[in-house]
Amino acid sequence: MLASEVASQIALHQPYGGVVPEVASRNHLRTLRPVVDQALKTAGVKISEIEAFAATRGPGLATSLMIGASAAKGLAVGAGKPFLAVNHIEGHLLSPFFGTDEGLRPAVGLVVSGGHTMLVDIMGLGQYRILGQTRDDAAGEAFDKVGKLLGLPYPGGPNVNRLAKEGDPARYDLPRSMIDSGDFHFSFSGLKTAVRYLLPKLEEFSLPDLCASFQEAVVDVLVAKTIAAARLAGRKVVGISGGVSCNTRLREKLGEACSRRGLELLIAEPWLCTDNAAMIGYLAALKLAAGERSPLDVDIDPGLRLS
């Protein structure tokens, strides 16, 4: 990797308590060109030296995807080089292999982001079997909604994680939804509702203890199901990705659970877990090496699934 530039919009959306699509697309337009220029500068390469151009096709916000994909197509046409449209979830899924000696290999992957919570049996590039996914809220969405309930700034995830470090995870008894369901599906909306109903019943509450108790409930379910999925799929390697995989308690508990069972755990560095272009570039490079190209008329797809 020669360069990785991220133009974060967190500060812009913070006053609204969540992502505002119109604000997001305007700022994609404004920052895209400077970010491309900065990446070329950092990498020390000319645009004519780039072998291929890639962008996310989906899932995501239509008005933001459109700007990224149109720009990458334009650069590809201008430079006379191939274009690759890639799947955002697949980008997260394969990111734990980025920079590893062995590269991509069979594993069970847990994708935990603001939009997805999914367990996948990774057989090879483009060969995925979805073992289970959330029935309602994604894990990151639950963190963000509970953060909002507790009056924490957007996004809730990192703030809940920070406060939880000083808290007692056993202080409040919260549900581990679907932990014994015998499948690999998840549900987090009941946990969020449990926090909502608990709050008015408490005369006073400890914010760190509540954050720690909520976080522990999410982490317990994620760890139990990931370990069970690795056993069912007969995989010795587990890879976790997506913004929630930055969570220090998840990293700690999944790390312990994997080493107890002789499983190898691959977790990317935090900067590679939240949305970034390096994971899209890595996936595009794998596809390019496998001879894949995308036609220029391939459209964005805000609801694109992993298949």
Please give the residue ranges that form the binding site for ligand KG4 (CB under 6 A).
113-115, 140, 143-144, 155-158, 161, 242-244, 246-247, 274-275
**Which C-beta is closer to ligand KG4: that of 108 or that of 246?**
246
Q: Pick one of ligand KG4, Zn ion, none as the site partner of residue 158 (Cβ within 5 to 8 A by kind).
A: ligand KG4
What is the smallest separation between the CB atom of 90 and Zn ion, expressed in angstroms? 11
Query: Over the Cα atoms of the chain, what is R_g?
Result: 20
Q: Pick one of Zn ion, ligand KG4, none as the site partner of residue 247 (Cβ within 5 to 8 A by kind).
A: ligand KG4
**Structure tokens belonging to residue 68:** 């990224």
What is the smallest separation between the CB atom of 93 and Zn ion, expressed in angstroms? 10
**Which C-beta is closer to ligand KG4: that of 67 or that of 244?**
244
Binding letters toward Zn ion, positions 268-287, x by CB under 5 A? -------x------------
What is the smallest separation between the CB atom of 204 and ligand KG4, expressed in angstroms? 25
Q: Pick one of Zn ion, ligand KG4, none as the site partner of residue 216 (Cβ within 5 to 8 A by kind).
A: none
What is d(CA 91, CA 299) in angstroms, rounded to the nearest whole number? 18
Half-sphere exposure of 125 (CA within 13 A, CB side): 15
**Burial grade of 147 (CB within 10 A; 0-12, 13-18, 19 or more):** buried
Q: Is 90 in the site for Zn ion (CB under 5 A)?
A: no
What is d(CA 21, CA 18) in angstroms, rounded to the nearest whole number? 10
What is d(CA 21, CA 27) in angstroms, rounded to the nearest whole number? 10
What is the smallest separation between the CB atom of 165 and ligand KG4, expressed in angstroms? 10
Half-sphere exposure of 77 (CA within 13 A, CB side): 9
**Which C-beta is closer to Zn ion: that of 113 or that of 226?**
113
What is d(CA 210, CA 207) in angstroms, rounded to the nearest whole number? 5
Question: What 3-state DSSP class applies to 85?
Answer: strand
Q: Is 64 in the site for Zn ion (CB under 5 A)?
A: no
**Which C-beta is closer to ligand KG4: that of 64 or that of 113?**
113
Q: Is 113 in the site for Zn ion (CB under 5 A)?
A: yes
**Do 56 and 88 touch, CB atoms closer than 8 A?**
yes
Question: What 3-state DSSP class applies to 50?
Answer: coil
What is the smallest separation between the CB atom of 101 and ligand KG4, expressed in angstroms? 25
Q: Which stretch binds Zn ion (CB under 5 A): 112-120, 121-129, 157-165, 250-258?
A: 112-120
Intra-chain end-to-end CA distance of the chain, in Å: 27
**Structure tokens belonging to residue 306:** 């992993």
**Which C-beta is closer to Zn ion: that of 161 or that of 213?**
161
Sign of torsion over alpha carbons 47, 37, 62, 141: positive
Q: Pick one of Zn ion, ligand KG4, none as the site partner of residue 161 (Cβ within 5 to 8 A by kind).
A: ligand KG4
What is the smallest separation between the CB atom of 106 and ligand KG4, expressed in angstroms? 23
CA-CA-CA-CA dihedral for 300, 304, 306, 307, to nearest 10: -80
Contact positions toward Zn ion, by CB under 5 A? 113, 275
